[in-house]
Structure 1
Amino acid sequence: MRLTKLTLHGFKSFADHTEMLFEPGATMIVGPNGCGKSNVSDAVRWVLGEQRARMMRGAKMEEVIFQGSSARRAVNVAEVSLHFDNTDGILPVAFKEVVITRRLSRSGESDYFLNRTACRLRDIHDLVRGTGLGADSGVVIEAKMIDALLSDRPDDRRELFEEAAGVGLYRDRRRSTERRLEETTVDLSRLDDLIEEVQSQVRSLARQRKKAERSVELTSRRFAVDVTLAARELESWADELTQLQSRLEQLREAVPAAAEQAETAARDREAAQRARAAAEGMRAELARMAQAQREQANQVERELRVAEERQRNAMSRRERADAELQDGEALGQRVIAEREDAETERLRLQTELAAAVELLTERAAAEEEARRTVSMARQQVEAAERTLRDARDQVRRLELDREGTERELAEVLARETVLESEVATLADALASVARDSEAADEALEISRVDVSRAQTALEGARAAAQTARAAEADVRTRLGDADRQRTSLQGRIHGLEALDRDRVGLAPGAASVLREKERFGSGAVLGPLSDFLSADSDAAILVERYLGATVHAVVVRDRDAASAVAAWHAFAKPGPVLLLPLDAVSDVASEDDALASRVRASEPAHRWVRALLGQVTQLDGGSGFVDARGAIYLPGGESAQGPIQRRAELAMLRDDLERLDADRARITLEAQTVSATLHTAEAAVMSAADAATQAQGEVRRAEEARAEIERRSARAHRERNDAQQLTEKLGERRASLQARAADDDAKAEEWRAGLAGHETLIISARQRLAGADEMLEETREGRTVAQVAQAQSHARVQVAQDRASRLLQEQATATARLETLRAELMQLANADSALAEQIATLTVQLEERQLALSELDTRLIEAEEGLRAADLALQTGDDALDLVRRQALLMAEELHQTELRHTQLEARRQNIRERLETEWRKPIAELLEGFEPLDLDADALRFENEQLKQQLEQLGPVNPLAVEEHEEEVKRLDFLAAQRNDLAEAKLSLLQAIKEIDATARELFLATFAKVRENFKQIFQTLFGGGECDLRLENPDQPLDCDIEIHASPRGKKTQRIHLLSSGERALVALSLLFGIFLTRPSPFCLLDEVDAPLDDQNVGRYVKMLNEFKERTQFIVITHNPRTTTEAADAVYGVTMQEPGVSSLVSVRMRNRNGGATNGGVEDDPGRNELSIPSDAASETVEAVA
């Protein structure tokens, strides 16, 4: 299989359809810098499937499409095809010619074709697998690969080896597997945490389920008790509501009559007020009219003065314009005379300029003729010098080749001597390898025993870690329960604090007084009575039941403050309010068992507390209260929680929160202890795992050591056989070198004989050039003189033209100014007449305004007298209205008090209804429908209701969905446990896959490394003709990660490090290694992109010799700048040029010998074609360009 043709269209700088035909052997591609030679190597990489834009020397793949030039538009498609001869059937398809094509459009569509049939990139990879072709193979060898091998960055060097070994695929697989392993490990960790959380939730929901069932039972009984008590209270208020409704109807009939009398008085007052407003409006309108008339008179007077001043200014301006008009007419006459003189001078100067231009043209033509003569003479000199220089270079190259041949011959003799000693050394090495093999077997058996012990210790450590994890999960569950209880307590505390802060439940009247307390003076209103009381929960309930609405009483500073509040209350009507003035009560001693002893009262309201509660005691059985007079108060029903109970509950909740925080701190400390235990156990697991891994590593290293010994044995046998074969080859090489030295001497003498004739031609050409230079200098001086004269004449003409233009402009300006002045004089005359008329009109208007102002002042005095009479009538109406309103207010107050009591009873009844509906979430009608009251007295019902409340509160928050949630979480826990088992098995499988990938990649890399090493040594001997070289792994135990060292000692040198070699020697070492890598995975062809750039003539000769040896079995495409490479190794040559800027075109060049035979057998010769003769080392050849 071989490459027959490359076609490009729209790829980079190859805008047109371009074909390159390839024959067996070496095809050279030459051309100047920037013409697009390297685009050929990019095209080969690209069509074989390269996906990285940076390898195409671009930022994105669309940049390979021709971008356009100064003369062409961009194209939209790039296409490259490789044609292969498959007559030997290496490619597994039934075609004798195989065409691989890749096409890319600007829309981003990328297509591959196989014999013009669309296919996938994978299909092409499958087709060329095993042939050495591919985007990542060594089919293209570039100059940057030499830099990569010689650089100090080990990654660049090992990348080439890994591409040759095909390890990249395994690295990608390992990275993918490690990524999946990491994801699996993270998922497993998350799943463990999730399982622990779900287990905690299952235990918590089990407890919540029991609480929910108990809550349902207690709530059902409490419903019956609560509804029975509410029904009895609603019946007790029915009679009082009927009486209040009757009185309300009487008052509602009397209040409107009183209100109607008040409205009649109000209407009389409004009529008087409207009369006064009309009088006030008349007076204001007359005052406004007088002011407006006065301002108009002032305005007319100001306009009169302005018109007089403008008339005086216009007369002054007419006088100045007359004088300026006379001056302008004189200036216009003078400018006309100067312009006629300037035009005469300009015509004379233009005549002189025409004569100067004609003289300059004649002398410039003479100078150009002399310059062409000099150019032709200089080209003849340069051609002669170039021919002489080429001849001397050829002599020098032949001399260098002769010296190199002598050195190589001496090296061959020395190498034969060294090989004899190497054969003896290798025999000793084989005996040493046998002894090392026995010792490696013993070390391997010991390592396997250590692995078994480490696995046993690892299993024990894992069991201890599992126990510690279970303990940690239990502590986390307890800590989570404590956190949830703490959150619940904090929520209840914050809610009660908000209710207390916002005074929720305070009577509306008391709340309104507190909002308006600033109205009554600082310190007048002190706050509600409840703000000065505090007690425990039991005492708080008793106090609130006894005080009832008195809890909402407002404490004020004294009776004066109470009077101020009462006055405001009469008008604002915010609702009923009980006021407690501090100076209205004296200090009263309280009994020991009184309610006052069970509460804490703060100043200054403590006296009122003792007055209200100091003589009140609780009846036996707790069903009522008795005061000092013996009166018994029996509170009815349950009351809602008041502010005193709220504060008592807050204090209790804060105590519970402190105890819970202490318990949580203890559990946290326990969790830290358990976590430390778990950390120790996990560290023990890691330590045991490391020990097991280390033991496995020892086994692996022992196995590798034994394999290395086996490779050493095979290598020693192979090296002994190679040394014997090399000894025979060196003898043949010695004879060839002696013959080549004699041939180089003969050719050098032939070239020296032709040097004298070339030197004579150069002397003659230089004499002709000197004569031409003298003639050119004389014509240049004449042309300079004529040029100076022409420039001076042109400058004088330009000055004359500028003066004439300036005078013309001045004449136009003077004419325009005269016209402007005449127009201005006419305007001023018209304005003078208009101003005289305006002054007469304004004088008449001023007299009229002054007369009207006098009449308005008289009418204004009459309007002020009418306003005073209207004020007296309005005062009489106000007095009558106040009397009627006071009578209506008294009646309205009685109506308000009656409505207030009615509203209070309705509110209590409505509160009970709303409380029942809110608490039991049903309308009151549905609650009472079909309900059978309990047959118990009220006290028993209240006691039982209190007990039920306490039991429900002790249960705490209840989750009504606990049963369903518990069942769902149990199912979820079972599902997560199954998922965890699957992930654990997947993790073990991924770990095993990584071990298998590492083993395969290691084996493949070591095998490829050994082949590259052998090829490197052979090619090094070919290029350097002797010396020593080697490749070594910095750490043989880790071949996939260690650095690769290159050691090379050319013949006669002892240095080992390539950095100490010359640049040319380093380049040859790198070429040896690149060809060694290429031969490891040989491909049908190899493209070399300017790899000979750093080589001198002598090293180029070695490089050419290597190409000549290898091209019999490998097809080469060589991109080069070196003419010696082209002439000595090429079987065909293509030239790449840019005759059109930005567009590469192709020129084929055929190698012919002087006898007329074409070396490539490609194209017939054209008669009359220009030929450039270049002698070569075998036979003189001719390079002829074929367009």
Structure 2
Amino acid sequence: MQLTKLELHGFKSFADPTEMLFDSGVTAIVGPNGCGKSNVSDAVRWVLGEQRARVMRGAKMEEVIFQGSSARRAVGLAEVSLHFSNDDGGLPVPFKEVVLTRRLTRAGDSEYFLNRAPCRLRDIHDLVRGTGLGADSGVVIESKMIDALLSDRPDDRRELFEEAAGVGLYRDRRRATERSLEQTSADLARLDDLINEVTSQVRSLSRQRKRAERHAEITTRRFAVDLTLASREMAAWHEELGELDGRLGALRADAPAAQVRVGEAEQLRDAAHAARAAADTARSARALAAAEAREAALTLQGEIAVAEERHRNALDRRQRAEAERSEGAALGERVVAEWDAARVDEEQTTVALREAAEALQRHVGAEEDARGGVAAAREALERADRHVRELRDAMRRIELEREGAERELAAVAQQSDSLAAEHEQLAAQQRLAERELAAADEALALAKGAAAEADAAAHDARETAKEWRDNDAIARADVRRIDEEHAAVQGKLSALEGLERERVGLAPAAARLLRDRDQFGEGAVLGPLSDFIGADAATALLVERFLGPTVHAVVVRDRATADAVRHWHATANPGALLLLPLDALQDLQDGAEAGELASQVQTEGPVRSWVRSLLGHVRSIDDGSAFIDARGAVWLPGTQSGAGPLRRRAELFELRSAVAASEATRAQAAATLQVVHENFVKAEAAAAAASDAATAAHQRVQQSAAVRADRERTHQRATRELADAVALSERLSGRRAELGAKITECITAIERESAALTAAEQAVSGTREALADADRRQDAAREARAAAQVAHAQAQARREVAAERRVRLERERDSATARLETLQRELFALAEDDAVLERQMLGWRDELAGRQQTLQGAESALAESEAAVRAADAALTGADHALDAIRREAVAAADALHHAELRHTELSGKRGAIKERLETEWRRPLDDLLANYVPVELDDDALAAEAEQLRSQLEALGPVNPLAIEEHEEEVKRLDFLQGQRNDLAQAQQSLQQAIREIDVTAREMFLKTFEEVRNHFRHIFLTLFGGGECDLRLENPEAPLDCDIEIHASPRGKKTQRIHLLSSGERALVALSLLFGIFLTKPSPFCLLDEVDAPLDDQNIGRFVRMLNQFKANTQFIVITHNPRTTTEAADAVYGVTMQEPGVSSLVSVRMRGPAVDATAAPAAAV
């Protein structure tokens, strides 16, 4: 597979479609700085799938599209194609030519094509996998990689090695797995918290179930009490409502007569009010007429005053207008005279300006002629100077060549003299290296034998340690199992002891009596019967089946205590309760004998007689499913739902015995584990010592191998250096002859160029004199032209001043004429307005006298209306007083009716409220509630007290959960589900931890394998570039290769230094190139692009670099971007020139192969 062509269109500075053809060997790309050479390497990276904009030297990927220039607009897309020859089938596609294309638009659309057919980036990666191509491969080697290898930051150096090894993918997978592990651990912690919360909820629901039962008992009693109180209250309200109905009838009958009296009084009051309104209306009308007459007289007086003021103002204005008209006439005559004088002055300045312009044109022409003569003389002088400089440069180049040849000849002679002595020294070094190599081979064989013996001993020790490790694991598993069994028994024991302390399972009434036992006196209530009976589990089951609820009986001291408890029971009503007084046993013991069940139990204290009475002569049949007492009666107990107090105490005894036995077993298992673990530690120590011995033996083998390799390299280097010395001696002899001939040629050329330089310098002197004469003529013409320009400017300024004065006077003349006409029109209008105003003032004075007479009549009529209004007010006041008295009587009757209705409504509302309360609280209709309740035979005060007590008990009990049982079952199911989820998460956590370990092992193996390959290639290429010396790559910590630093050691021939920082810059760059090529050869590609990697190399190191390219170009196709002419001339099989003939746009201008140059404009990519 071989790269045949690169196509670019719109990529960075390559705006036009550009093609570059490639053949085998080395293709150089040259050009000045900033012309776009490195854009070629960016294009190769980009088309192979590079996704990082910073690698493309940009902030975002759209910047690879041509951005435009001063003469061109930006393009809309960038496209790059790579053409490969697939004759050898290196790419798994049935095509002889494969074209990879990438296209990007400014809209952000990125497309990939395979042989012009659309595809995915993943398809291209799959296609080139295994060929050394790809965005992360070493197909492009650039100068910044040298800086990364030589920098003090180990991460930059490690990054190149990791890319070559391909461990970056594993690092990404490890980080992703670690994130998943963190998330899983967090989920597991949250799930543990949730499980704890649900467990607590289950315990809480268990307690809520018991409270719900107590709540139901209190609620039933409260129902009866509330219904009794409510029925009594509603009966009392029913009687009061009957009395209110009779009273409301009488009050409603009297209401119409009161309303009739109020209506008559209101009619009288309305008539008086209407008379008052009529009088007030007449007064208002006359007051309005008087006000209008007064306003009209005042308005007319004001208009007369305004007219008089206007008449006086008009007289003043007419006098001012007469004065202004006289002044304007005088001004107009003066302006006309000045305008005639300005017109004559303008005509004279126009003639003078024309004459000055003609003179200026003549002087400008003369100056142009003089300037042309100066330009011609200066051009001739520049040609002569250029010719002199060229001759001098040629002589200087020839002189430098002669001096260089003489220095090189002296150096060659000196090198030839020292070469003979060096030849003998190299021969002695070769013989010494042969002897040292033989000794190293013998030492290596001995070290390998010792290592084999150490490996066998280490294997035996590891097997022994493995056996003890297995025994230790078994012992630990036994200890864990025994601990778990002990914890389970201990937990069950603690739970049962807690139930025993809290009397769980005891009848509620018995438990209530035991809590209140102190009120009966010390020793009065002894405790439940079960506390005085002991038996094994089987017997306890038989006793509980036979006794049934009797097992919850409470033993009391005597019958008096039993009576006190009976009174307490009537008040507290805790439920069914059985009492066993001790002084009642006398009547029960007659004829009693120990029976079968009585003989199987152990009793304590005074209750022994009660036990014989209850269990005497009782035998179990059918395995305890039935019993026969002394009378022959057959007892068939029902199935019990759970263990009773007797069985719980029997189980407690058994669990305490089991805990004691478990403690002894735990101690024995711990002692066994201690012995096994001590043996295991000893075996591990022995295995570690054997492994250390084996490791030391292998290290001695590696040291011997390293010494042997070092001796072999020394021998090879000595042999190669001896051969190089012989070849160098032959080359030096030929070079001395070449340099002698070159010095003779340089001397002849210097004499020839010296004669030509003398003639050229004489020609320059004559040309300088001619240029001086032309400069003097040009200066005279320039002065004359400047004087003419000044005269022309002065004439032009005078003409402009005259024209401006004439225009200004014309405007003043026109303005004066217009002002006179305006004043004349204004005087005429003022005279007409005065006459009209005088006539209006005479009419207004006559009208004012008539209006004053009308005003006097209106004021007399207004006084009469005021008297009529006062009389109507007095009549209206009397009618209002009478109406108020009648209304008070009606309001009193209405209030009585209203209070009666309110009481009726209140009682009805109370009945409705109590009905709503009861129906809402008990959720049944009131009729059903009253029909189904059982009345409580107590007085009202006792019922209210009990209702309050029941309400307090409910409040003290607090809210209960009636669905506690169902919720308890749901929470238990939820807890089981969560525990299953936790087990799954724990298993996933272990799987992720195992995946991380496997990733670390795989990445370590890949890195070490690649590191060793790069190391071998680096040594080989280093010897090729430096012609000898030593180099090596070392890991700072071989035990942690994925995290430690990589050290580079290099010693060129003749130097003992190991640190690359002590080498010269050129040597350091050459060492870095050796390592970069070593990395490249580890993952070889069909071609390699070198981007200005030879920039820091001098001439001698450039020669080594060229030799390396010539050595590898038979197997690898090289594209070299360079500034160095030796790289271009000595190594390149084809050369492309990149330039910017148009600013901002790169183009190919020429191509040179091993033949004549080809014009790139005619053939953009003619390399074959």
Q: What is the TM-score of this pair, normalised by structure 2?
A: 0.71
Aligned amino acid, residue 960 of structure 2: V
State the structure with more CA Rg.
2
The residue aligned with 1:573 is none
Q: Is the 8 A contact 1:416 1:730 kept in 2?
A: no
Alignment equivalent of 2:355, drawn from 348, 366, 388 = 348
The residue aligned with 1:330 is 337
The residue aligned with 2:726 is 735
Partner secondary structure for residue 130 of structure 1:
coil
Q: 1:899 and 1:1151 mapped to 2: Cα distance? A: 126
Q: Is the 8 A contact 1:304 1:842 kept in 2?
A: no
Q: 2:226 and 2:356 mapped to 1: Cα distance? A: 130
Question: 1:663-709 CA distances to partner (integer Å, 9 max, x unpaired)?
Answer: xxxxxxxxxxxxxxxxxxxxxxxxx9xx9xx99x9999979988876
Mapped pair 1:786 → 2:790: no
Alignment of 1:1004-1083 (within 5 A): 1004-1083=1006-1085
The residue aligned with 2:538 is none
Question: 1:786-811 CA distances to partner (integer Å, 9 max, x unpaired)?
Answer: 34543553454344334434443443
Aligned amino acid, residue 237 of structure 1: W
Q: 1:257 and 1:341 mapped to 2: Cα distance? A: 121
Alpha carbons of structure 1 residues 319 and 1122: separation in structure 2 relative to 1, 3 Å: farther
The residue aligned with 2:57 is 57
Alignment of 1:87-98 (within 5 A): 87-98=87-98
The residue aligned with 2:1094 is 1092
Partner secondary structure for residue 370 of structure 1:
helix
Alignment equivalent of 2:817, drawn from 807, 816, 822 = 822
The residue aligned with 2:1122 is 1120
Number of residues of Structure 1 aligned to a counterpart in Structure 2: 945
Q: Is the 8 A contact 2:426 2:722 kept in 1?
A: no
How far is the alpha carbon of 1:70 from its aligned partner? 3.7
How far is the alpha carbon of 1:1054 from its aligned partner? 4.5
Partner secondary structure for residue 56 of structure 1:
coil
The residue aligned with 1:650 is none
Alignment equivalent of 1:309, drawn from 287, 310, 313 = 313
How far is the alpha carbon of 1:40 from its aligned partner? 0.7
Q: Is the 8 A contact 1:294 1:849 kept in 2?
A: no
Tell me which moved more, 803-812 or 26-35.
803-812
Q: 2:404 and 2:690 mapped to 1: Cα distance? A: 56
Question: 1:273-306 CA distances to partner (integer Å, 9 max, x unpaired)?
Answer: 7457644686478558746864674466356535
Question: 1:327-346 CA distances to partner (integer Å, 9 max, x unpaired)?
Answer: 43333233223222221221
Alpha carbons of structure 1 residues 989 and 388: separation in structure 2 relative to 1, 3 Å: farther
Q: 2:795 and 2:479 mapped to 1: Cα distance? A: 112
The residue aligned with 2:366 is 359
The residue aligned with 1:836 is 834
The residue aligned with 2:660 is none
Partner secondary structure for residue 240 of structure 1:
helix
The residue aligned with 1:984 is 986
How far is the alpha carbon of 1:258 from its aligned partner? 5.8
Q: 1:280 and 1:698 mapped to 2: Cα distance? A: 131
How far is the alpha carbon of 1:1133 from its aligned partner? 0.2
Q: 2:219 and 2:845 mapped to 1: Cα distance? A: 102
Q: Is the 8 A contact 2:6 2:82 kept in 1?
A: yes
Alignment of 1:381-392 (within 5 A): 381-384=388-391, 387=394
Aligned amino acid, residue 30 of structure 1: V
How far is the alpha carbon of 1:390 from its aligned partner? 5.4
The residue aligned with 1:111 is 111
Q: 2:450 and 2:839 mapped to 1: Cα distance? A: 143
The residue aligned with 1:603 is none
Q: Is the 8 A contact 1:188 1:984 kept in 2?
A: yes
Alignment of 1:430-449 (within 5 A): 430=444
Q: Is the 8 A contact 2:9 2:18 kept in 1?
A: yes
The residue aligned with 1:4 is 4
Aligned amino acid, residue 866 of structure 1: S
Partner secondary structure for residue 717 of structure 2:
helix
Name stretches of at least 5 consecutive residues in structure 2 with no aligned partner. Answer: 493-570, 572-676
The residue aligned with 1:172 is 172
Q: Is the 8 A contact 1:265 1:880 kept in 2?
A: no
The residue aligned with 2:247 is 247
The residue aligned with 1:949 is 951
Aligned amino acid, residue 1013 of structure 1: R
Q: 1:894 and 1:1049 mapped to 2: Cα distance? A: 128
Aligned amino acid, residue 808 of structure 1: A
Aligned amino acid, residue 116 of structure 1: R
Q: What is the TM-score of this pair, normalised by structure 1?
A: 0.70
Aligned amino acid, residue 873 of structure 2: L
Tell me which moved more, 259-268 or 132-141.
259-268
Question: 1:1015-1048 CA distances to partner (integer Å, 9 max, x unpaired)?
Answer: 3333333333344433332333222112223333
Question: 1:24-66 CA distances to partner (integer Å, 9 max, x unpaired)?
Answer: 2111001122221111101111111111111111222222222
Q: Is the 8 A contact 1:440 1:705 kept in 2?
A: no
How far is the alpha carbon of 1:721 from its aligned partner? 3.8
How far is the alpha carbon of 1:998 from its aligned partner? 1.2
Alpha carbons of structure 1 residues 88 and 250: separation in structure 2 relative to 1, 3 Å: same
How far is the alpha carbon of 1:185 from its aligned partner? 1.3
Partner secondary structure for residue 724 of structure 1:
helix
Q: 2:840 and 2:400 mapped to 1: Cα distance? A: 115
Q: 1:203 and 1:218 mapped to 2: Cα distance? A: 24
Q: Is the 8 A contact 1:92 1:127 kept in 2?
A: yes
Partner secondary structure for residue 54 of structure 2:
helix
Q: 1:1129 and 1:190 mapped to 2: Cα distance? A: 68
The residue aligned with 1:808 is 803
How far is the alpha carbon of 1:372 from its aligned partner? 3.2
How far is the alpha carbon of 1:158 from its aligned partner? 1.2
Aligned amino acid, residue 1097 of structure 1: D
Alpha carbons of structure 1 residues 9 and 282: separation in structure 2 relative to 1, 3 Å: farther
Partner secondary structure for residue 731 of structure 1:
helix
How far is the alpha carbon of 1:319 from its aligned partner? 2.8
Alpha carbons of structure 1 residues 291 and 896: separation in structure 2 relative to 1, 3 Å: farther
Alpha carbons of structure 1 residues 216 and 813: separation in structure 2 relative to 1, 3 Å: farther
Q: 2:442 and 2:129 mapped to 1: Cα distance? A: 43
Alpha carbons of structure 1 residues 381 and 1058: separation in structure 2 relative to 1, 3 Å: farther
Q: Is the 8 A contact 1:262 1:888 kept in 2?
A: no
Q: 2:371 and 2:984 mapped to 1: Cα distance? A: 97
Alpha carbons of structure 1 residues 708 and 371: separation in structure 2 relative to 1, 3 Å: farther
% identical aligned pairs? 50
Q: 2:370 and 2:477 mapped to 1: Cα distance? A: 108
Q: Is the 8 A contact 1:1092 1:1122 kept in 2?
A: yes
Mapped pair 1:726 → 2:717: yes
Mapped pair 1:1144 → 2:1143: no
Q: Is the 8 A contact 1:11 1:66 kept in 2?
A: yes
Tell me which moved more, 1035-1044 or 445-454.
445-454
Q: 2:310 and 2:483 mapped to 1: Cα distance? A: 110
Q: Is the 8 A contact 1:411 1:1051 kept in 2?
A: no
How far is the alpha carbon of 1:858 from its aligned partner? 6.3
Alpha carbons of structure 1 residues 857 and 187: separation in structure 2 relative to 1, 3 Å: farther
Aligned amino acid, residue 907 of structure 1: G
Question: 1:437-461 CA distances to partner (integer Å, 9 max, x unpaired)?
Answer: 8779989968978999999999999
Q: 1:205 and 1:1074 mapped to 2: Cα distance? A: 73
Aligned amino acid, residue 834 of structure 2: A
Q: 2:280 and 2:453 mapped to 1: Cα distance? A: 133
Tell me which moved more, 442-451 or 217-226.
442-451
The residue aligned with 1:128 is 128
Partner secondary structure for residue 1019 of structure 2:
helix
Partner secondary structure for residue 237 of structure 1:
helix
Alpha carbons of structure 1 residues 413 and 826: separation in structure 2 relative to 1, 3 Å: farther
Question: 1:1099-1144 CA distances to partner (integer Å, 9 max, x unpaired)?
Answer: 3233223222222332211001122221121111001122233222
How far is the alpha carbon of 1:909 from its aligned partner? 2.2
Question: 1:198-253 CA distances to partner (integer Å, 9 max, x unpaired)?
Answer: 22223223333444455456545544543453344223212322432443454452
